Structure 1
Amino acid sequence: MNSEKGILVLGATGPAGICLLRELLHRGHHAIAYVRNPGKIPLELASSPKLEVIPGELTESKKLASAISKCTAVISFLGSSGSKVDDVKLFASYYSDYIFPTMRAYSVQRIYAMGTISIRRPEDQPSALRWLAIAIFGRVYPKMLATMLEIEKVFDTKADNLEWLLFRIASIPGKSDETSWRKDREDGDTFVGWVAESGWSFSQKRAALARWLVDAVEGKADTWIGKMPAVSKLAGSKANLE
């Protein structure tokens, strides 16, 4: 059993989660994946000595504690499947009732969690594109929209004494296989700021988002702790083709 402390990934079997696992391992981090179905993790990742896979449900307190006790920070994609659940408060309750208390119990302070631009912050600028996207999204996936607003609420009200960052994304295209990940992780620089500020765009490849998240756990986004910045590809930036 690997005793090295690592980065815990929640939602590790989705495309963004798999890209994140690839990025963590690529950069030499010990990664911990707490997953419902370990079989969804690609074999080349599951066989890495730097990856520890812990099967379990978020409501299984002892198993979750085992995973959190081994980490220095948590990165969470929970909520991305919000359109598939009936209870729009479900993912928010995972944070407030299970993840946050367990982090506090094991003195794990840092969590980076996913939100979407359906979450509004006072610093955001007006954007017709954002308005249209929320209108369409809310009509097609009303439960996922409501889920994200509950996640916003729980970070605003229940994450006290934790060092949290809720990154808000719009479109994150891209595949999670190794070839696509290697190409997409070089897809331009990352914008971090407020919606519709200069440099904000509507899209960022999943692998490039994963690259930024690992930058963040390495200390390059500390000024955004306790905030909910929009994260996207920096408008006008070019892919690194070297």
Structure 2
Amino acid sequence: MIDFAYQRREAANRVACSHPEDGLHVWQINLDDPHAHADDCAQVLDADERARAERFAFPLLRRRYLAAHAALRGILGCSLGRSPDAIELRTDANGKPCLADVPSPLRFNLSHSAGMALVAVSWRHEVGVDIERWSEPAHLMAMVAHYFSVSEKAAFWSLADEQRVPGFHRWWTLKEACLKATGVGLRFPLDAFCVEFRPQFRPRLLDGPSAMQGLQLWSLDLAGVGWSAALAWADPRGNGARPSPTVRQWSWQGWRI
């Protein structure tokens, strides 16, 4: 019997990957989906990734790692018209993953937290994405004092009490996305640049080094309460006023066809 629903899900994955409307796609991935079988996921990864997965002490963390990296390869594969296990990755001089053997303008970034992951794919410009499950950091006040810039501290303390935990995670994801888009990671001091993270304002870079100028920022709307996510896109032609990119749901049931 032909599973037409299966074929439609697989086709939807491929069409969305291979026909970028604006050069930028974002995918939300459920790492705990029962169709994300660990053995299948492991088969499309390279030897280094499989070795890293084996070092996880807890099976849940191992399974989520395998799912996140298999989904990334699935998304890159259907974006390029290749099978997931044919994708070769390396890291650039800053340690950011990139394609190893494809002469393509494709850029991408992966982030995962708990049972959820995001993959951002851009056809022309560098991109950074971050996702965080809300928690109340034991030392939240100390982190605000240590890592926020002067203006960000003032903005944080202007928030109502009930806005501070989500506000902190909104700030954190925006910062992480900026660092990942520029490829510098957390080696760059968090208080050396400033973002607008208050919920009543559009996210944007307020002040920062030349490498971050031109970044467009978004806080992303995700399915489910208790998550924050952000996207930074290095489009030098943008004015920061574009609509927020649509977050697509990755289907595991057709990902390897």
TM-score using structure 1 length: 0.29
Q: Which has the higher contact order (CA 8 A, sep 6+)?
A: 2
TM-score using structure 2 length: 0.28
